Amino acid sequence: MRSDPGDYELVAPLSLQAAVGLLARSPGEWLPIAGGTDVMVQYAAGKLPSRKLVSIWNLPELRNVEVLANEIRIGAGCTYTDIRKHELIGREFPMLARAASWTGGIANQNRGTIGGNIVNASPAADSLPTLLVYDAELILVSVRGERRLSYAGFHTDYKKTTLAPDELIRAICLPRRFSGYVCHARKVGSRNAQAISKVCIAALARVADRTVEEVRIALGSVAPIPIRLSQTEQVVTGKIIDESLLLSAKKTAIAEIRPIDDIRSTAKYRVAVAGNLVVEFLNLLNADAKKA
Amino acid sequence: MIDSLDARAKSEISLTVNGERKTVLALPMERLLDVLRQQLELTGAKEGCAEGECGSCSVLMEGTLVNSCLVPILQAQGANVVTIEGLAAGAQLHALQEAFLERGGAQCGICTPGMILAAFHLLSKKPGPTLEEIQEGLSGNLCRCTGYVQIFEAVVTAAHCRTSLSRGPNEI
């Protein structure tokens, strides 16, 4: 059942300060809307729980990328297009740029924001596994001030986060220390554009003398939240990649995911694909190590 | 703050559509698509899926391709919007429109306005796109009739004669 616009209130504060001020006056009552690629879909379907919306689209404080010596801070209001176009993100965080290119089509990339993607908290979101392996931190803002926390603990359960009702994500911070790593990101879906992933992977590693010195692997659509495969990482770390390691890594990966059957795929298929994606990454690492 | 005093209060929204300044009275959560079609009687943008999947409601907002079904009108306050109606200069069709005609890039026509605007947006960023870039540029626009081949050919044709593209639309 379509929503009646007359049942909804929408305001557009002109600054971030005004937006968080509004959230603080009645926490939980106002739903932030940026590019609308999630909120307007729920609205059109008559499934939007909140009747009061506050537009944070194009707030200048949320739309910039700050490049510091040791990290970059991507404003939460940056669109996927902003991310794809950013030269330094493309060079130092290529998996994020690639994931942005798989999200929706061009029109949705022009409106969908990285902060919105995080807060919407879909386990299938393509950019979220990349944030996990890049060790992202979030800067949250409210009238109470700012706090900074690791992105890794932000999602607590399906569609649940540690964001307080009066807070917004201001920026996503990525440490600039992954340039020399081998990385691999892949989406498995019905179609590259528009179709949401059945499984997606983001992984990076450092290999020396054919030995995996450090490895980070994250998957989307295999659990209620995007997850790091920490047990698989442990199995692989310090080892030379051979057939037996591939087998044990695959076995461990399959054991630590909790996929479900849904409209896009089945748990059985996701288990098979997740295992194969981990093996594909390790084979790629091995090929890269032999080349070096 | 641009505010609506209560949920039923309409706001005055001013925007530029196809080069003309327009002021409409609308509820802030009305969709740009509905304002264009119902108030401004620009019915070129179509409603397909109403969830940002099909691209048939595509328009340009501030020179950027957007799904107008996902834009609350309040966010279009002050914006420069171009719809398919803004591409032709009077009776003179835009090079992309000519190319779609010439190559048979339209069948039922529902996706065509969005396809042409997505192609326009692509060519404004990449004047000589590869086939892969055309496929990606139009990947958010679904066609259920032609199978895309003629559509991609039309974009290639228009890209080849892009001298006429520098003209418009409406000098955005």
Encode pLDDT of B121-169 as tens digits: 999 999 999 999 999 999 999 999 978 999 999 999 999 876 544 444 4
Picking from A155, A175, A195, the residue at the C-terminal end of a domain is A175
Enter the pTM of the model: 0.93
The pLDDT of residue B2 is above 60 = no
With an 8 Å Cβ cutoff, is B68 touching chain A?
no
- The whole-number pLDDT of residue A46 equals 92
What range does the domain containing A259 cover? 182-291
Q: Rounded to an integer, what distance in angstroms lies between the CA atom of residue B66 and that of residue B140?
A: 10
Characterize the bridge pairing of strands B58-61 and B64-67: antiparallel
List C-alpha distances in Å: A154 to A125, A213, A227: 14, 27, 11
Q: What is the CATH number of the domain that holds A188?
A: 3.30.390.50
Helix (DSSP H) and strand (DSSP E) numbers for chain A: 11, 14
Same domain, A155 and A102: yes
* pLDDT tens profile A56-75: 999 999 999 999 999 999 99
Residue B172 belongs to some domain of the structure: no
* pLDDT tens profile A34-43: 999 999 999 9
With an 8 Å Cβ cutoff, is B52 touching chain A?
yes
Q: Rounded to an integer, what distance in angstroms lies between the CA atom of residue A59 and that of residue B51?
A: 24
Torsion angles phi and psi, residue B109, rounded to 5: 95, -10
Same domain, B82 and B104: no
User: Across all residues in chain B, what is the average pLDDT?
Assistant: 91
Min Cα distance B90 → chain A (Å) is 27
Cβ–Cβ of B55/A105 closer than 8 Å? yes
- The whole-number pLDDT of residue A201 equals 94
Same domain, B136 and B110: yes
Picking from B45, B62, B86, the residue at the C-terminal end of a domain is B86
Same domain, A189 and A279: yes
Cβ–Cβ of B6/A9 closer than 8 Å? yes
Q: How many CA atoms lie within 13 A of A156 on its CB side?
A: 5
Same domain, B115 and B154: yes
Q: What is the CATH number of the domain that holds B21?
A: 3.10.20.30
Same domain, A116 and A44: no
Mean pLDDT computed over B59-76: 98
Same domain, B73 and B19: yes
Same domain, A105 and A165: yes
The complex's ipTM works out to 0.93
Chain B residues with CB-CB distance to A107 below 8 A? 52, 55, 58, 65-67, 118, 140
A102: nearest CA partner in chain B: B136
Cβ–Cβ of A193/B1 closer than 8 Å? no
Same domain, B63 and B100: no
**Domains identified in chain A, total number:** 3
* pLDDT tens profile B25-37: 999 999 999 999 9
**Domains identified in chain B, total number:** 2
- The whole-number pLDDT of residue B171 equals 42
Same domain, A24 and A81: no
Chain A residues with CB-CB distance to B3 below 8 A? 11
Q: Which residue is listed with tokens 């259920």? A: B144
Quick check: A143 and A24 in contact, CB under 8 A? yes
B77: nearest CA partner in chain A: A12
Helix axes A267-291, A243-256, angle to 10 degrees: 140
Residue B15 belongs to some domain of the structure: yes
Q: What is the CATH number of the domain that holds B123?
A: 1.10.150.120
With an 8 Å Cβ cutoff, is A192 touching chain B?
yes
Same domain, A120 and A166: yes
**Residue contacts between A and B (CB atoms, under 8 Å):** 116
What range does the domain containing B121 cover? 95-166
Q: Which residue is listed with tokens 């119902």? A: B38
Interface probe for A, chosen from B24, B34, B70 (most Cβ of A below 10 Å), is B70
* pLDDT tens profile A70-123: 999 999 999 999 999 999 999 999 999 999 999 999 999 999 999 999 999 888
Same domain, A252 and A265: yes
Q: What is the CATH number of the domain that holds A115?
A: 3.30.465.10
Same domain, A64 and A162: yes
Same domain, A218 and A171: no
Helix axes B112-125, B149-160, angle to 10 degrees: 40
Picking from A175, A200, A225, the residue at the C-terminal end of a domain is A175
Picking from B86, B117, B139, the residue at the C-terminal end of a domain is B86
Looking at the partner chain, which of B29, B55, B118 has a beta carbon nearest the beta carbon of A8?
Answer: B29
